[in-house]
A and B are shown apart, each in its own frame.
Chain A
Amino acid sequence: MRYDSVIIGGGLSGLVCGLRLVQAGKRCAIISSGQSALHFSSGSFDLLSALPDGEAVTSPVEGVKVLAEQNEEHPYVKMGVERFAALAAEAVATLQGAGVEVEGDVAKNHYRLTPMGTLKPTWLTLSGYVRSESAEALPYKSVLLLNAEGFLDFYAQFISDELRKTGTTCRICNFNLPALEIIRNNPTEMRSANIARIFDNEQAVEALSQIISREAGECEAVLLPAFLGIERGDVLARLQERCGRTIRVVATLPPSVPGVRTQIALRKAFERAGGVYMLGDTALGFEESEGRITKIYTQNHGNIAIEADDFVLATGSYFSQGLVAKREGVVEPLFGSDVCQSESRGEWYERDLFTAQPFEKFGVRSDASLRILRGGKAVENLYVIGAGLAGFNPVKEGCGAGVSMLSAVYVSDNILKK
């Protein structure tokens, strides 16, 4: 099989890169070993929330300038601080072009409500999620927190307790529907995705709107777990219209229904534009010639190689086994890329669990174009994007989704420029 570009890894980064390549007319395939981390999405995409020294960032576009002074190996710095805002704008355009509606500003972080009830800075949030412009409190003085009876992946009491501390009074109410009775027979399947399917049905939406109207009373906003429809994206709008109220959703524990919908929307847009998405397949080996990768081999395609002009590694970090921690060191298992890591295993961790952990910054070494280094030398047509990149701490710096999308845009541009 022959393509112009082949991306290994079908998560946020791989899909954004693939989407931009197919939209520019490239024949492109994505090989994905199972579903991606978008299934655990918080509903928000972080760009830059804090600097390596711990200082909070309110404006990512300003913060990245200081970041350049603190860590010149950071992917944002390698891609060029001056290109940061443009790359971010492209990433937003790509999401929105695929029908993923997001709100946010590269010049000013807003705040998302975590499933634990705390407020955290972020860049983009999917429409419909509760968000605040302030780090201190929600924009509502009183809310009704509505949960489905028996849904255990949502901790209403935690959220209520935290909100109360910030001056928002919160009333909790559990609701029931006949369709919920049926899935409750099976407590292990009482999960967000299965509940969401109930609301693909208009009758259930109507019933929920009646419950909301009955229970909401004087509260300023109604908050619901993010489980409103898997196929349908208009349930929240419909409820607001029926009830004439402000209704917002709050992230649940995985699986993340809006995350699943985002994954599906991006994949569909990629396929509609002519891309080939191979799910459940794993790249196992490759051939190279004169400093170039010529073909790769996968588990499913066996002796039929997949050839391309350019290859992009978007296999992520430890979770998706894009990086594997072995006794001798951390390796990138497919191409044996150079991996940036501490000298000895003893330096992988800090004793305090809550400080920045060195292993989080480990990743694949690359040159200024994000071409992968092997044996210290850049491979001419092999790029790395997303969580597998070296030099950043997605948790402490709040920059995981940003690095994934900006590096995807950057590399797709580099490929298209050739």
Chain B
Amino acid sequence: MIVKENSKNNFEQCIKCTVCTVYCPVAAVNPLYPGPKQAGPDGERLRLKRPEFYDEALKYCLNCKRCEVACPSNVRIGDIIQTARINHSKSKPGLREFTLANTDLVGSVATLAAPVVNATVGLKPVKAIMDKVVGIDHRRIFPKYSQGTFEGWMRKQRKAQSTFEKQVAYFHGCYVNYNNPPLGQAFVRVMNALGYGVQLLDKEKCCGVALISNGFIKQARRQAEVNVRSIRTAVLEKQLPVLATSSTCTFTLRDEYPHLLGVDNHDVRDEVELAVRYIYRLVQQGAKLPFKADAPKIRVAYHTPCHMEKLGWSSYSIELLKMIPSVEVTVLNSQCCGIAGTYGFKKENYETSQAIGEGLFRQIEASGCDYVVTDCETCKWQIEMSTSKRVLHPLEVLAQAL
């Protein structure tokens, strides 16, 4: 939903106030990036006149959308920049982009031989080759792949889940499927405790966020169309809400599809939401979460991922965490961790990525928490690699307390 659209060219709403430039995490650390105002609305004016004005430095935008959150005039700055990249970028994605972007394909292969893959990508010579030949920074730690997928586990659950009268559909995303099935299982446990069975969508493809940022637009659009079709079946035919546990998948399904890929989802968009929001509403309507009395006390610090900030939904996660008697919650200042999906994996972005996150890492170490909690998997990788803390998802914390 767009609140105020005063012109068909959204950039014309920009009044040149410069507020966005204060909040761009990239411009603050990387002088090669022209900043959101120049890259977005100012540059758009030029590109409309002549596409040759397109500047390849727009690739440094990490699509965090913090410029849009800061903008007092509702300019969709991040969308303008990403659309310009889609329409004008001459740089062709290579092997590295292919590997990073195809989380689905790589995941399905990697889970078949998870122990071997996990051990191999951790080896120094392999890291050196990936760095020198492929351009994936050698300092980056790869997420571990799981043995067996979440979908595989869910297939065995089908019967048990169908015994619940009330049902929800789950968009699990690549991370839960290939890297962290226990998070999906935690979600199922919490939903079951609330009296809801969980089912998969007819067909789920990767939401496509990594394809978009790596320049595979046609493939992203095809996958988006498959997903929207499956979501329509769930929402319109089966009357099921579609819940997700990743803030970025949710944001992509709801907003990047229509804004960047031109895939219409208006008839189902409002029924796609984060599980924490859905659960928060159930609790508000009187549902009870049966918390254990003897759960060990933990102190957690909540980190707001950029796309969660854009969705404006961090209060749902924070309020749910506050409901757990054994959990003490502090909220970290909302700032980008620097990884932005596949951005921080690229050799040329490593320094920028770590410099952006530095303030957050310092905050985390100073917070005295036992765990960091966040709704985004790539924030988790970045924080676990860059601080001494383990990172949990709100639903994992909830499930542990039940």
Residues of A that sit less than 8 Å from B by CB:
1, 33-36, 39-40, 182-183, 185-186, 188-189, 191, 193-194, 197, 231, 254-255, 260, 268, 271, 276, 278-282, 284, 298-304, 319-321
Contacts and interface: CB of A to CB of B under 8 A. Distances in A.
Given A35-B23, A39-B22, A188 B42 contact: yes
A305 B319 CA distance: 15
Given A34-B70, A280-B68, A281-B312, A302 B270 contact: yes
Given A34-B72, A189-B21, A189-B27, A301 B38 contact: no
A34 B21 contact: no
Given A278-B315, A304-B281, A186 B31 contact: yes
B18 A191 contact: yes
B270 A280 contact: no
B277 interface: yes
B240 interface: no
Interface in B26-73: 27-28, 31-35, 37-38, 42, 68-73
A281 B71 CA distance: 11
B69 A271 contact: no
A184 to B, nearest CB: 8
A280 B77 CA distance: 13
B269 to A, nearest CB: 10
A296 B69 CA distance: 20
B71 A34 contact: yes
Nearest to B75: A34
A40 B17 contact: yes
Contacts of B42: 188
Contacts of B312: 278-281, 298-301
Contacts of B19: 34-35, 39, 254-255
A241 B290 CA distance: 60
B30 to A, nearest CB: 9
Contacts of A282: 3, 74
Interface string B305-331: 000011111010001000000000001
B21 A255 contact: yes
Contacts of A301: 312-313
Contact of B32 (A39, A185, A268, A280): A185
Interface in B189-248: none
Please list the 8 inter-chain residue pairs (A to B) with the smallest Cβ-Cβ separation, ordered nearest first: A300-B312, A280-B69, A34-B72, A188-B38, A193-B22, A189-B35, A281-B312, A35-B19
Contacts of A1: 284, 315, 319
A39 B23 CA distance: 11
Given A35-B19, A254-B17, A271-B331, A194 B28 contact: yes
A191 B277 contact: no
A302 B310 CA distance: 14
A403 B190 CA distance: 50
A189 B38 contact: yes
Q: Which of B27, B38, B277 has the most CB of A within 10 A?
A: B27
Contacts of A271: 331
A279 B69 contact: yes
B8 interface: no
A187 to B, nearest CB: 9
16 contacts: A33-B3, A34-B19, A35-B19, A39-B17, A39-B19, A188-B34, A188-B38, A188-B42, A189-B33, A231-B359, A255-B19, A255-B21, A278-B312, A280-B68, A299-B1, A320-B72
A276 B23 contact: no
Interface in B58-100: 68-74
B4 interface: yes
A64 B281 CA distance: 50
Given A186-B33, A280-B69, 20 more contacts: A1-B319, A33-B72, A34-B73, A35-B22, A35-B72, A36-B72, A186-B35, A189-B35, A191-B18, A194-B27, A254-B17, A254-B19, A260-B22, A278-B312, A279-B312, A282-B3, A301-B312, A301-B313, A302-B270, A304-B280
Contact of B70 (A35, A185, A197, A300): A35
A276 B359 CA distance: 22
A303 B270 contact: yes
A40 B15 CA distance: 13
A37 B265 CA distance: 35
B18 A254 contact: yes
Interface of B: 1, 3-4, 17-19, 21-23, 27-28, 31-35, 37-38, 42, 68-74, 270, 277, 280-281, 284, 309-313, 315, 319, 331, 333-334, 359
B72 A255 contact: no
A301 B28 CA distance: 30
A254 to B, nearest CB: 5
Contacts of B3: 33, 282, 284, 299
A327 to B, nearest CB: 14
Nearest to B36: A189
Contacts of A321: 4
Contacts of B313: 300-301
Contact of A189 (B31, B68, B284, B334): B31
A197 B72 contact: no
Contacts of A302: 270
Q: Interface centre among A36, A298, A304, by most B CB within 10 Å?
A: A304
Most buried by B among A189, A302, A320: A189
B296 to A, nearest CB: 26
A186 B32 contact: yes
A268 B380 CA distance: 25
Contacts of B68: 280
A1 to B, nearest CB: 7
B22 A279 contact: no
Contacts of B71: 34-35
A189 B57 CA distance: 13
A231 B362 CA distance: 13
B31 A280 contact: no
B272 to A, nearest CB: 11
Given A33-B72, A280-B312, A193 B33 contact: no
Nearest to A197: B28
B346 to A, nearest CB: 20
A186 B34 CA distance: 6
Given A188-B37, A280-B310, A194 B69 contact: no
Contacts of A193: 21-22
Contacts of B333: 268
A108 to B, nearest CB: 33
B135 to A, nearest CB: 23
A282 B284 CA distance: 22
Contacts of A34: 19, 69-74
Contacts of A254: 17-19
A34 B3 CA distance: 13
A353 to B, nearest CB: 19
A113 B28 CA distance: 29
A282 B22 CA distance: 21
A188 B27 CA distance: 10
Contacts of A182: 31
A255 B310 CA distance: 22
Nearest to A304: B281
Contacts of A36: 72
A193 B37 CA distance: 14
A4 to B, nearest CB: 15
A301 B69 CA distance: 15
A408 B333 CA distance: 25
A320 B37 CA distance: 18
